Homo-oligomer: A and B are copies of this chain.
Amino acid sequence: MRIGELARRAGTTTRALRFYETQGLLTARRLENGYREYGEEDVRLVGEILSLQAAGLSLDDTRPFVACLRAGHEAGDDCADSVEVYERKLAEVDACLARLEAVRAGLVTKLTEAMARRPDPCRVTRSIPLEES
């Protein structure tokens, strides 16, 4: 199949596929007219990439998974390198979570302090009519 069909079937764009190729994630044989030609296994491969990206991995992180599939494994994470990426990414996510928690705490502090400084905290902008609706 050609690039357009692969893009449709894998659920992405031709732009993305060509980009993956420049990144060495995808390869294609060429037809006589220069068009890229893909096989069924490429649908699976691109699907793996997209699924991993959705799981929070960067494109670069998907390399071991692609290599693993190319090496004939049934799943992209059937290789040690892939599992290692999972672990590394998990650690990164945990670090990011911790940092965000800290940022959150700082924001809450600043917010409450600012609110405490505001004059007339009990002011009512508009009185509520008793008999409405």
Contacts and interface: CB of A to CB of B under 8 A. Distances in A.
B117 A78 contact: yes
A52 to B, nearest CB: 9
A100 to B, nearest CB: 5
Contacts of A110: 55, 77, 86
Interface residues of A, number: 29
Interface stretch (A27-35, A36-44, A89-97): A89-97
A106 interface: yes
A14 B101 CA distance: 31
A107 B84 CA distance: 12
Contacts of A87: 111
Interface of A: 55-56, 75, 77-78, 82-83, 86-87, 89-90, 93-94, 96-97, 100-101, 103-104, 106-108, 110-111, 113-115, 117-118
